[in-house]
Structures are given as C-alpha cells and as structure tokens.
Structure 1
Amino acid sequence: MIKYFLLLPGAFLLVLTGSYTQKEKTDHETGTALKVNLFYQEQLNQFYTSIVFLDSCIRHNIDEETLKQPFLRAREAFKSCEFLLVYLESDEARRINGANITTNHYHHMTPMEEKPPHGLQVMEDLIFNPGEGTREELQKEIKLLRELIALTIERNKTEFIIHASDYNTTIWDAVRLELFRIESMGITGFDVPESQNSIPETKAALHALKHVVGCYEPVFRKAKLKSRYDAGIAQFNAAITFLDLQQDFNTFDRLSFITNYLHPLSKWVNECINKLGYTYPVNVRPLNNEATYLFDSLIFNPAFFAPDLSPEKIVLGKKLFNDPVFSADGTRSCATCHRSDKGLADGLVKNQSLDGRQLLERNTPSLWNVAYQTTFFYDSKVKRLEMQVLDVIHNPLEMGGDVAVIAGQLAQNPEYAALFNAAYNGTINKSTTANAIASYLRSLTSFNSRFDRYIREEREVLTANEKNGFNIFAGKGKCATCHFAPMFNGLLPPHYKDNESEILGVPAHASIPSVLDKDPGKYATTKLELHKYSFKTVSIRNVELTAPYMHNGVFQTLEEVVEFYEKGGGIGHGITLESQTLPGSKLKLTDQEKKDLVSFMKALTDSPE
C-alpha cells in the first residue's frame, strides 16, 4: 500500500494550499489534516518522552517492581499513537511492539535472515519476569526503542502528504482498522501477556480515536452531518465509560463491550467513511471495505483470496471433489476424507493410506473457510490452495493420481467437457482442473453459527454459560491471543494476510503427556530450528464436529484440549521444549470456567449447506 505521510504546518502549507483546486480539497479539510498531524506528532513525542523517563529509571537502578508503572504508562502512550504509527510505519511498528518471538520469513525454499524480537513486548517480559534476562538486555532494548522512535519522529517532520483527500481516506481507514485491532487483539492481552494491561491501553486508544474524530467536527458541520458527529462522540464516551467500570482483566465483560460499544462504533465509522467520501477506489485487501464490523458476514474480500471465482467453476469443482477418478485405484475422492457430517474432516485420529497398509502422517483438517487462509497444510508448506489440491492428489499415500493424465481422461467425458466449456471455455488441463476444485473449496464458507447470530443482534440464541465462555476464551483462557477473531484461527489481524504458527508441545499419546510427538512440523520444510514442532493455528469454527484434535489427533474431546492448555501445554506436562511459544504456566481456570469455554466453542458450530 502506498504510504501517505503527514503535512506539518509551516513552509509546506503555502505549497499545499496553492496546489489544490477547490474540487480536490476544502479549507476545512486542510485544517483538519493539519490538526490530526499535530496531534499525531504530539503523541509520538509523548511516547518518546515516556521511554526516556523509563530509561532514566533503569539507569538509576530502580527495581523491576517500581519499573512496572512507568513501563505501563509508556505502553499507553504507544497506544495513543498506534492507529497511525502501525498504519504508516508497519515495519517500524513490528520492531516497536512485535511479538516476543524470533522470526524468519521463510519464502519459496529460501530462508530469510533470522530476526530476534525487540521492543515493548520484550521489555515487558524482562520487567515482569526479571529472571528471564538481565539489566543489560533491558537497557539495550530501551536504547533501540529510543532510536527507533526518534527516527520515526524525524521522518514525520520531513515527509508530507500531497493530496489531503487521500490523507483523510488514510486517517479514517486507520481509525477503522484500530477498532478491529482493539477487538481482535487489544482486549485479549495479545501484546501484554504478562501485565494484562488491556483495559487501560484500550481506553488510551479510544481516547486517541475520539480526538481524531473531533478534529473533523468542521467537516461534519459543513457536510450537514453534525448530528452524526455528535452521535459518534457520544458512542466513544460511552465505550470509555464502560471500560472505567471494568474491574480487571479476568472479569472484563468483553462480549458486552464488543456488541454494545465496539460494533456500533465500527458501524458508525464505516457510515462516516461513505458519507464523507473517504473510500479507496479499489479494494485490494483481505478485508472488505464495505463490511461494517468485524463479524459482518461480508468481512472478507473474496476478490483478494479468490479472484475470478464463478458459479460455473464451483459447480465443476464440486463434481470433481466427489469423483474418485483422481485416486490411483478409483476408490477414493476428496470427499472420502472430508465428510460433511464431520465438519469436512473425517473423524479419525489419522486416516489410512490408499493401499491400507499404514496411517497417514497427520490428522485430516477441516476444509471450512479454507478460502480465507494464506498458507496450507499443518506445516504451511504451500501458499496457494491449488497447490494443496495438487499435492494431495499426487501424494502416493493419499490418492496417487496424476492430474495431467486425468485431465486428458476428463476431456473424453461429454458431461465434464460441457462443464469445462462453461467454466474455462473448454480448456481441460492440470491448471484448470486444480483451479476448479480450489474454487469449490473457496465456496465452503461458514459464518452463521449461533455465536455469529448473537453478535448480529439475535440476543436470545446464547446461554449465559456460552457468553461467559467467550469472555474466558478472549481473556483469562488466553485462547484469542492465537485464535484471532473473526475466523478464530491464526490469520493475523488487522490485515489478515499472514497465518501464524505456534509451538505447543503436543504429546505423542494422551496417556503419556510427557513424551513429545516426533512430527517436526514446519521444520520438515524449512530446516530452520525455530520452526521445529511448529504447526499452523487452525480455526475452531465447527470444532465440535471435527474431533479428534491437534495435528496428530491425540485428543478425543474438547475437554482434553482445554486441560492440555490449562496445564501449560507440553512444558506444563513435563516436556522439555525451550522453543515453546505457548506459555508454560497454568491458566488456573475453575471447573465451571472450563465447561463454559467448551460451551462457547460448541456455539461456533454452523450448519451451512
């Protein structure tokens, strides 16, 4: 995405105002752009000042317990400028507030440079868990962060926007995405796993958004939308007041906050974007620009994930999906192992090989919502759904077919010839065959569970236990820090382009939980040590139907899965695994909280055609 930078007052103002026609910009919008820019600059400076103060505390050898408060104030200062900082400076933002894990963006058989974590989340771990590192490491992180923020401030002083109309679009889009970020990550404790400072940070973010919206009051007034402006400000105030009433992280009523405050705000922002004309002309992102809130059934943009999808391709793909012609012995179709009554999984720990002589390597995954993924297989070894289709068909243990040869056979079938003619103008080859099956899979979307209907204001469809289960899922249970809304998988908000993987320490047998499963996960593809035992975070939509669970099918029930996480994953069960990304500490859920958590997950069961 092209970056639009902020215009500072001074010499550039004459250049800016002299270059715009009346049609391109109004005086009100020019003034608004300057106000927002000044506010953003102020917040960046306050963030920098808070880091300098924290640095001073460390240099004066203040103990870690005393350091906690100035650190948390620094985090809240970051949240006040996060909406634009993350939007405009995505690379820097990852170094400021990225997850506390080493990364390597392996790409097409080429390992990239390994990147150690830096920034606020690393500092939080060092301050709240002093035994995890040294004072020298903390001082190093502070120094790096100071330098990075200083560079960001200087860059903001020298780079400026050319068209304020585009900048206003950027501003409102950043506001919209920040609301999505708050819902999917901010209130879950994703970036404050140790301090659980989610409520104060959410308040800081909302105060900043409210101030930005306030800068647009003259624009609303000129557009004769003053009543809409007043309604939005009132909604921001109500949301902040609700947060003031929440006592702590574990008891925070997230579901009420989402349904009564965040979603109305998201709808209001989307309405304002349309009424003020701040829309991007082309939608080239995973999120649908027209979606009004995060759980809107149209939240994802099909054109991004599946360009050129057509009814004709779907009809053809469905027939191919159910045809055993692709297996070497003509006995197995795709539908054989992806059953509609099993949530498009198969209900087995591991399915058998085609010849029946051995078990397949991994548990069969569900195909629901596979359209909205950017990597495929448990080890994320391919990035296109067509490649997954071909890999499965060509795998001698799974189907043992040859798509190129089979495509020639299909061409001799009058019924298939007619379907390919309608879908691909008669072209029948390996590429069109794989695309047809992938097109059918992309049509298998599921966003109408009881939980979705509750979010969409059918308030009678969830029980009190299910609602509490969601609050556990998004809070004390820490499930939502890996299973992100609205897909409840590893698709990372708010841009939803990257599928996260985690190292959980899954055992080989449920009866011997201290013995790690030998499957190396992503390591088999990348040969990188940091990917050993790493597996893609799959969706829990329709999870009630897809037992048994985990990549090896080791757990038969959701209750077993919850108990595995309750005890801290593999480490909590006695497995030595330094690279585990799941915290090894206990969740300390009560028996009732565990039951409610399972009840919520079952409320994600859908019954799509």
Structure 2
Amino acid sequence: MKSWRVKYIPVILVSVLFILSISSVKDRADVIEMNSAEKIGILYADNLNHFLRKIEALDSMVRQGVREPELIPAFLEMREVFKTCEFLLCYIESDEVRRINGANLITNAYHHKTPMEEKHPHGLQVIEDLLFNPEEGTYEELKKEIVLLREIIATSVQRRESDSIVRAKEYNIVVWDAFRLELFRIETLGITGFDVPESLNSLPETMAAMNSLEEVVQVYEPVFKYKKAKKQFKEGVALFRKSRELLQQAVDFDSFDRLEFITEVLHPLEKWTKQVIDDFAYTYPVNFRPIDNRATFLYDTTFLNTDFFAPGIKPESVRLGKKLFNDPLFSADGSRSCASCHISEKGMADGMVRNTALDGSGLLKRNTPTLLNAGFQTRFFYDSRAKRLEIQVVDVIHNPLEMGGNVTEITARLQQDSSYAQLFKEAYNGIITKTTISNALADYVRSLVSFNSRFDKYVRGDKSALNESEKNGFNIFSGKAKCATCHFAPLFNGLLPPHYKDNESEILGVPVAADQPDVLDDDLGKFDNTKLELHKYAFKTTTIRNVGITAPYMHNGIYSTLEEVVDFYDKGGGLGQGIDLPSQTLPDAQLQLTETEKKDLVNFMKTLTDNPQE
C-alpha cells in the first residue's frame, strides 16, 4: 500500500497551485487598481496645481491694481479650473470646504445656549461678490480674500505631495465615493447656481466638473477590462458623452433644461456609480452618515439614512406614538392633542394662519408647520432651538399656550392607564417615563415619510406624471427663480447637500401682513433663542414638499396662496418691497418672472404633494 503522503501529494500540489493562482490573480488586480489610483493622484495633483496657478495669476493682477471688471474673466476661468479638482479637494479637505467655496454668509454654530465663535465667510463666493458688487466691499478686502485662498490651496498642494491618494486607506473607495458625492453636488448645488449667485456661470463649471469625472472613468478602464465589465465602462462613457451634448446645446443659465439633464444624465450616472462600487466590492469608508450607502440616486426612497437621523426606530414605538399623538391627555384641559394641530388631510399642518392659544387669549406666535419628513432634520422649530425631536415634543407639551401639560403628571396617569400597558410593554418593556413617552411620539413623527409625489414618480421613470407646465416649473425653480439654492433636493428644505448635516436658516424680510408689504414682522426668529445680532429675523428654511395642501405660508402665515409667495420672492423679499433690513440673506434683486413662469412654478410645487396619511 502506498503511503498516504504519496497518495495525497498530487492533491496537495493542485491545492497549493490553486491558492497561489488565486493569490496571483488578487495581486494582479491590486496592481491594476493601484496603477489607476496612482494616475488619479497625478491628475488630481495637476489640476490642483493648475488651480493654484490661476489663483496666483489673479493675485498678481490685483497687486498690479487691475480693477474689478477686468478681473472677472480671470476669476471665472479660475473657478472652472477649481471644478476640475473639486470632487477630491472637497472630499479630502472637508474641513476647509467652507473657506474654499462656502456660502457668503456669516455663521455662528450656537450650541446648547452657548454662542460659538462667529465665522466670517471666505473663498470663491466672497471673491465673486466683491468682484461683481465692488461697492459692497473694498479692494483691500478683495486682496486679502485672494491671498487667503492662495494660502489654503498651497497648503493643500503640499499636503497632497506628502499624503498620496494611493497610500490612503481603501484608496479606490476614496476616489469613487468622492465621485458619487460630486454627482449629488452637481445636481443640487452646481446646475442651480448655488455657488455662483452673481456670475451664474454654472453651466461651464458643470462641464468642467463632468469632464473631470469622465477622466476618472477613463483612467479606470483597465480595471473595468480586468473585471470583465467592458459593457459597464461603455455605458458610463456614453452617459458622459450625453452630458457634453446637453451642456453644449444649452443657450444660457435660465433656459437650460435641468430636468432633462437630471433624468437623462445625472440619475443614470448616480445609479451607474453605485453599481460600479458594488460590483467592484469597494467598501464605503463610513456607514453612519445622512446619505444611505444603499441608495442608487438622489430621489431613491432610501436616499437618506434613517438610522443616522433616528437610530433604533421600532414599529412598536411608532404604534404607541401614534396613539399618544391622538390622545388629548397631554393638554392641561384635555381639549387638545398633537393631532388637533397636525391634521392628516392638511398635510400634517392645520390650515390656519396661526392656531389659537390653549387658554383662548389669542393666537400662537407662529404658523403650524407640516410634520411630514420632519424626522430628516438636524434642527427643529422655526428658530432651530431644538436639536432632537424628543426635545421638541417635550417643549410643545410644556408650552402653556400650546398644550400646557406636565410630562411628570402625564407619566403618572399613563402608568395607571390599562389601555397603554401592552403598548408600552411591546415598545419599552413596560417602562413608562418622560424618555419613553417623548421617544414614542418622536418615532411616530419620524414615520411620517413623504417621498412618492407625482414629481418623484416622474424622476423615477414615469414620464406621464408631469405635464409641460409642471416640467417647466421645475426648471424655473432650479434656475431663474433660484428657489433650489435654498430649498435643496430631495427634501426641498434647508438641509444642505451633499452631506445633509446642517439645516440652513434665511432672513427673508417677511412683512407683518400681506397688505403691509413694507412693514417688517416683529418676530425676531432665532435671535429670541441665541441673542446674536446675525440671527435677527432668521428662520429655518422649511420644506416645500406637500406645500400644495399646507397653506397658509411663511412663519406668520400671512400668505394664503402660493401665488402670493411667488410674488414676494419675485419682488426681492422684504428689501425689494421697501423694508429696511440690511441683513436680509435673500437677494433683493427682482427675479423678473413672467406671469406664465409664475404659473408654471406654482404648478410644479403642487406636484410635490404626497400625503401618506390619507
């Protein structure tokens, strides 16, 4: 009998060779991907250095005393070069994004009743404003802003030289995750003119950004070939070719067909990118963030990560919360429940200018907002004073003019109420406290999700869902009317893309009454909470989803129709109507919308109606 060694040597040899071949295949794949990453790193370095040289050239012109009008062409060229490296620059230098291309607004991250350091804006948008509106600043300020930008990018160049993308952990996902976020950035901030409010140079910049992303695809062609994904590669290239065609056909900012560009280019590319990441088995660097890594495109029903905004939401707590929401036991006199002011058929608002105070002494201070999609926010109330829904819930219950309740007393009553015993047992093991009560109510509000309007159906492929007026209305909303620069997709509120962590507020100059357009409403907004001057008359940018059924409008409910709201914005807000409010963040220039454009704009906003509670 042969020894077992002789008998099994062939099997062992085959196994070893198989393992070595697998290892060899893996090594070869790693080399191919490493080579692609190295080339991306070189491209990024070239583009970043090109951007720095353009800044230095503009700096040189300013040092020579060249005045603002003559500087504008060089500035616009510099911005287009910025767009070639934006996707990786903003990803890698995330802490510096606000000083590179942030909104031209002073901010203060007021936190737990403690004012933080006031942050003044810097970067490209500030420079643009100083160039296009030189009367609003000084030439010295322009010099300083350009020098600061030059220093920031010079530092980025130095850091890039010492910290290669290739040496970064999971370098492939660094490239492709940044790629994916740039597509979202282009859709929500790029083609809307958000970061070029004065020049409206967004179409050439979009072309530059898209060309830069196409370079990534071309550099990764060997990887596609090796992974037997040639068809997938060709599909991506074809979409970028379509992008160039549509952008080259565009006549100007106002007439650009954004809806076609989004549905024919950006959404297919977003889906394609997600598929590439999945097929190539690239692992996202982080799962706990507002954008759900499983989402395929911007209007995917799962685009926002529920676990980020509401970790641990359970159907049991939602059931309990719904019962509590409809129970008047929270009000001091047992006459009012949460559902009294958040009515299903009115889009979870109440249809009133302002609701009545519990004691009948008058009206509440502010209009009742919708609760639909309220769970996808990081700030609550018009003045953003609460950071969690649970805090908002307790605040409303304790407010003597709204509910006048006492959670401690309510807890004691619920502990004696047999109709709630089983629900609390299922949701919280029978624990009835202020914490479980507020969490159950908050979870119910978080369950009020509304992402299935006619507009959503259209961008998901149902081309019969919108008519021509409504489609044109979207293009006006995202272009000429500049609505999308404050009401960001997909929530159409102030949750700022592409990271969706910050709820923005605006100062609009809202009048005290519709028939008194030149008299400012005396509600100080965020200032009442923060006592900071820059927050006077500032209010959180609310959603316009379901706006067709949540009239009246504005924080004080002064406008009963969407037509009135559009007229307010068309005239330049409060400043445009004679209100003295230098801090207004809404531009005071008239939009000059035609009557047809106004009608189309209103028609589009009504397509965002989707009341899941009906």
TM bucket by the smaller chain? Answer: over 0.9
Q: Which residue of 2 aligns with 1:560?
A: 564
Q: Which amino acid aligns with 1:466?
A: E
Deviations 1:370-413 (A, max 9, x none): 01011000000010000000000011110011112211211212
Q: 1:264 matched to which residue of 2?
A: 268
* Map of 1:150 onto structure 2: 154
Aligned with 1:497 (options 501, 508, 511): 501
Judged with a 3 Å threshold, the aligned counterparts in structure 2 of structure 1 residues 23 and 385 are, in CA distance, closer, same or farther, namely farther
- Map 1:145-544 to 2 at 5 A: 145-160=149-164, 166-280=170-284, 283-544=287-548
Question: 1:76 and 1:328, CA in 2 relative to 1: closer, same or farther beyond 3 A?
Answer: same
* Aligned counterparts of 1:213 and 1:451: Cα–Cα separation in 2: 31
Q: Map Cα deviations across residues 507-548 of structure 1 (whole Å, 9 max, x no partner).
A: 111111111011110011111100000000000000011111
CA contact (8 A) 1:29 1:164 kept: no
State the partner residue of 1:6.
none
Q: What is the identity, as a one-letter code, of the residue corresponding to 2:279?
A: K
Match of 1:105 among 86, 104, 109: 109
Q: Over residues 109-141 of structure 1, what are the superposed CA-to-partner deviations in whole Å (9 max), with x where a residue is unaligned? A: 111111111111011111111222222111111
Of 129-138 and 392-401, the range deviating more from structure 2: 129-138
User: In structure 1, what is the equivalent of residue 119 of structure 2?
Assistant: 115
- In structure 1, runs of 5+ residues without a counterpart are 1-19
Alignment match, 1:12: none
Q: What CA distance in whole angstroms lies between the structure 2 residues aligned with 1:308 and 1:414?
A: 26
Aligned partners of 1:23, 1:290: CA distance in 2, in Å? Answer: 28
- The one of 592, 604, 611 aligned to 1:607: 611
SS at match of 1:581: coil
- Residue 502 of structure 1 aligns to a residue whose secondary structure is strand
1:558 and 1:361 map into 2 onto residues whose CA distance is 22
Give the distance between the partners of 2:384 and 2:28, measured in 1 at CA. Answer: 46
Letter in 2 for 1:211: E
Displacement after TM superposition at 1:279 (Å): 2.6
Matched, 1:40 2:44: yes
Report what 1:96 is aligned to: 100
Q: Which residue of 2 is the match for residue 9 of structure 1?
A: none
Q: Measure, in 1, the Cα distance between the counterparts of 2:169 and 2:33.
A: 8
Secondary structure of the structure 1 residue equivalent to 2:299? coil
CA contact (8 A) 1:24 1:165 kept: no
One-letter amino acid of the counterpart of residue 245, structure 1: Q
For 2:130, the equivalent position in structure 1 comes to 126
Q: Secondary structure at the match of 1:515?
A: strand
**Contact 1:95 / 1:118 at 8 angstroms: preserved in 2?**
yes
Separation in 1, partners of 2:311, 2:168: 31
**1:26 equivalenced with 2:27 (yes/no):** no
Identity across matched positions, percent:
61
- Matched to 1:256, the amino acid is E
Contact 1:25–1:164 (CA under 8 A) maintained in structure 2: no
For residues 203-232 of structure 1, give each alpha carbon's deviation from its aligned partner in whole angstroms, at most 9, with x where no partner exists.
000011111122111111111112111210
Task: For 1:51 and 1:570, locate their aligned partners in 2 and report how far apart those are by CA, in whole Å.
Answer: 37
User: Partner amino acid for 1:601?
Assistant: M
Q: Which amino acid aligns with 1:473?
A: F
1:68 deviates by: 1.3
Q: Distance in 1 between matches of 2:359 and 2:136?
A: 51
**Superposed CA RMSD:** 1.4
Distance verdict in 2 for CA 1:564–1:354, change over 3 Å: same
Task: Give the corresponding residue for 1:14.
Answer: none
Alignment TM-score, normalising by the size of structure 2: 0.94
State the match for 2:555 in structure 1: 551
Gaps of 5+ in 2: 1-23
Q: CA deviation at 1:60?
A: 2.8
Q: Number of residues paired by the alignment? A: 590
Query: Which stretch of the first structure deviates more once superposed, 315-324 or 101-110?
Result: 101-110
Moved over 4 A (4+): 20-25, 161-165
Given residue 202 of structure 2, which amino acid in structure 1 is its aligned partner? S
Q: 2:554, 2:148 → 1: CA distance?
A: 39
Deviations 1:229-266 (A, max 9, x none): 12101111211221011010000100000001110111
Structure 2: distance between partners of 1:498 and 1:445: 19
Structure 1 position 576 matched with structure 2 position 580: yes
**How far apart are residue 182 of structure 1 and its match?**
0.4
Hey, what's the Cα distance between the residues in 1 that align with 2:445 and 2:337?
14
**1:25 and 1:165 in contact (8 A); partners too:** no
